[in-house]
Structure formats: C-alpha cells, structure tokens
Structure 1
C-alpha cells in the first residue's frame, strides 16, 4: 500500500476507513455467522434494548427504508424481535433474541482482537470518548 497517497486525506476518510476495515475484519473472523454489516446492528440493538428503528436511523445515518430491510432480515433470521411500544402503538421496540445474545461474546472477542491488532490500547480510552462526543455533536448538527 502506498501510504503517501493518504497523507492529505480528510479526517472523515480516516474514520470511514476504520469503520470499514473493522467490519471486514469482523466478517473475515466470523464468516460462519454470514451476517455482513448486520453485525453492527445486532450490537447496537443488544447494547440498547427497546431502541426503535428510528434510533437506528439516527445513529447509523442509513435511510428508514434500509433500516427497515436490515431489521426485517435480522428478524427473519431469528436475531431480533419487535414489540409494539406501549407508549406509542405505531412504533416498535427492538430487542435481540437469545440467538443473538449467544453470539455477542464472540463478536466482542473478535472486536477486541481487532482493537489490539490496530494498536488501540487502554490509554486511548480518552481518544475514544472524544470521538464519541464529536460524533454526537455531528448528529445533533445535522438533526437541527
């Protein structure tokens, strides 16, 4: 790889590259699950039970239609279930099933391996927190 070409790449390209390369790594190590990018949605729902499809849209930046397809696929494959939100009967709350819950430790293990391989250390926790803050600010900026 010619690293010189990347010297002047915009910051957002680096963030995108991290996301894509982590997903490729996860899928290469977890190819028996045959999940693709759905892995990140399983983790989002697992970490945020009773979240809605709108929450996934807001966090991921994907369209409502794409998220609906992803959730339907995960539901059909037995990883996610939808329940009507008692506070808003037109919305669904999403929750991972036991099938998804069983694979979460494996996903976390491989994700941690990726962090080690790319050089993230506990010393980078402050950096990770700062990137989360920037991401939240970014979502608020475009949501206004």
Structure 2
C-alpha cells in the first residue's frame, strides 16, 4: 500500500463481491464471442475439462452454485458445442459430462483469459502481497 493512501475500512464482503462482479463482466465480454455467456459458464467448462465424466450434481456441489444455475449453464455449454452428456453406465438416470473436441481446442484460450483476469486483479501487488492475499482469502473462505 502506498504510504500516501489513507486506509478506509470497508466491508470485506462488499469488496470481494465488487471484485467478483468486475471479473465476471470482463470474462463475459471476453468469452462472449466464443459462445460462452455469463452465469459462470466458464467455471463449469473449466471443471469439466479438469474432470471429464463428472455429473451435474458434482458440479453443483464442487462449484457452490445452485442446481438451476448448473442445469442452465450445462445446457448452454452443450448447445454451444463445448460439452456432451453421456448416460452413466452405473445409473441410467444420470448423465456424465465430457468436453468435446471444440472444448479441448478452446482450453488454452480459456486459460489465457483466466490468467489475464488474475494478472489484471493483481497488477499493483508485489509477488509477496499476492501470496499474502491468496493466503488470507483461503483463511477466510466460508464453506456452508
């Protein structure tokens, strides 16, 4: 922090929410041309790329979204050609989600946008400040 800056105590939740909304706007604008919209669709795609064969229920639980948001995002990603549903051989009522070749090809582009977003957020931090920020956010993470 610059010594000339005056500290102004603000609600932590509001600051985190503002940062999150700003990042969502940036990613929605950047990824929109690729057919990936808002609502955290990139989070679902990234999770499916990292764990092919996951279920919607697992996505909902792991990403902390509600079931309706998960269902809507999965449907939109499927319609955009990024994922496909396959019937679970162990439970014919359930579907497993897999990335398509289009998603696998897009993966480096997605990662570049995510990396760029993180770089923008931390551009005024030293490496030590960034490390400390991550540690502090991990420390206060709420798991409900």
TM-score (norm 1): 0.73
Deviations 1:47-71 (Å, cap 9, x if unpaired)?
Answer: 2221110112113333323322221
Gaps of 5+ in 1: none
Whether the aligned pair in 2 keeps the contact of 1:51 and 1:94 (CA below 8 Å) is yes
Q: In the alignment, what sits opposite 1:65?
A: 68
From 105, 108, 125, the equivalent of 2:108 is 105
Whether the aligned pair in 2 keeps the contact of 1:81 and 1:94 (CA below 8 Å) is yes
C-alpha separation between the residues in 1 aligned to 2:134 and 2:88? 32
Q: In the alignment, what sits opposite 1:128?
A: 134
C-alpha separation between the residues in 2 aligned to 1:133 and 1:87? 38
- Specify whether residues 132 and 7 from structure 1 end up closer, same or farther in structure 2 by C-alpha distance, changes over 3 A only: closer
Offset of 1:14 from its aligned partner? Answer: 2.8
Bigger CA radius of gyration: 2
Offset of 1:85 from its aligned partner? Answer: 2.2
Trace 1:20-35 onto structure 2 (pairs within 5 A).
20-35=21-36
TM-score (norm 2): 0.73
Offset of 1:13 from its aligned partner? Answer: 2.8
Write 1 or 2 for the structure with the bigger share of helix.
1
- Specify whether residues 96 and 13 from structure 1 end up closer, same or farther in structure 2 by C-alpha distance, changes over 3 A only: farther
Gaps of 5+ in 2: 1-5
C-alpha separation between the residues in 2 aligned to 1:128 and 1:85? 37
Whether the aligned pair in 2 keeps the contact of 1:27 and 1:35 (CA below 8 Å) is yes
